[in-house]
């Protein structure tokens, strides 16, 4: 795997998803990259924070914007291990994210279900990067949940 | 105006919008009510916080969930001075908000533009409560902005 490739940064997002898994959260992770540098990270924390908005992407966006002291992320790329939901897609649109790369698709809650152009028209989208790795972590989580029922 | 009416709580949301106005933010405010008590407040702070996700509704949802120590807000009502955007509608859906009341419609960024059932199917929606008051604050803000160009 090349450094600074989409696969490389998706691995970093998958490491964030592992962090969520260790905290008994649906394992989803995200990183935001600017000029080959990670400037924002996040993993799903909705259960632990009792906050529906504590998705990986939302936290990474807030972190990156804090780092830059600016709310627009036109030159940044967001890597996230699952297709963003409608809420996160809305935030990605507001941030005018330069590029979004996701791993697994989300057939139940993914924003593309709306068939509405939610993202900013200039945002580049790439799908399916390390999708199998992301699905494997998600499956591990839900299998574990079922065992504990 | 009756206490504990939708108009009463929308006035409280409008007071939050005035707070935003005083901070040179697009004046939008929100409150969340449970059993006739305000348990979350927020006003738009996207400029000051450099954070696209710092919408009034997002802050009110996080505040209410923190107050309750629970992320679902099924028995709560959200009052917001402008129709929620797609991001906020997504958050309202995740929170399974019991009822949403908004004042002015947002023909440019309102979530209803998507024609997709973003909100939870059980969420009750009421529109147009004190819409003129909300539009008046928004107009005041944009007129002021134009004068300062």
CA-nearest of B87, B88, B71 to B79 is: B88
Report the C-alpha gap between B66 and B81 in whole angstroms. Answer: 22
d(CA B80, CA A112): 27
- Torsion B50-B52-B55-B58 (CA) sign: negative
Q: Long-range contact list for B104-108, CB < 8 A, 24+ apart?
A: B104/B131, B104/B134, B104/B135, B104/B138, B105/B131, B106/B82
Q: Do B64 and B80 contact (CB within 8 A), yes or no? A: no
User: If chain A, 149 residues long, is cut into consecutive pieces of 10 residues, what is the mean pLDDT of each piece?
Assistant: 88 98 97 97 97 98 97 98 98 98 97 96 97 97 87
Give the ipTM: 0.95
- List pLDDT tens digits, range A33-69: 999 999 999 999 999 999 999 999 999 999 999 999 9
Which of A50, A85, A86 is closest, CB to CB, to B66? A50
List pLDDT tens digits, range B46-88.
999 999 999 999 999 999 999 999 999 999 999 999 999 999 9
> Which H or E element spans position A137?
helix A131-147
Partners of A120 on chain B (C-beta within 8 Å) are: none
Using DSSP bridges, classify how beta strands A77-82 and A99-104 pair: parallel, antiparallel or unpaired.
Answer: parallel
DSSP A129: T
Q: Which of A26, A67, A94 should we substitute to test contact with B (largest number of B Cβ atoms within 10 Å)?
A: A94
């Amino acid at each position: 795997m090349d450094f600074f490739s989409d696969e490389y940064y998706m691995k970093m997002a998958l490491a964030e998803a592992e962090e969520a898994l260790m905290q008994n959260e649906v394992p989803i992770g995200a990183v935001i990259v600017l000029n080959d540098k990670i400037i924002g990270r996040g993993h799903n924390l909705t259960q632990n924070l009792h906050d529906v908005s504590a998705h990986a992407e939302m936290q990474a966006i807030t972190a990156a914007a804090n780092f830059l002291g600016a709310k627009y992320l036109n030159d940044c790329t967001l890597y996230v291990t699952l297709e963003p939901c409608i809420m996160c897609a809305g935030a990605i649109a507001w941030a005018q994210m330069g590029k979004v790369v996701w791993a697994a698709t989300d057939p139940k809650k993914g924003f593309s279900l709306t068939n509405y152009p939610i993202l900013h028209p200039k945002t580049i989208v790439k799908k399916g990067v390390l999708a199998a790795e992301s699905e494997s972590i998600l499956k591990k989580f839900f299998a574990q949940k079922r065992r504990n029922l």
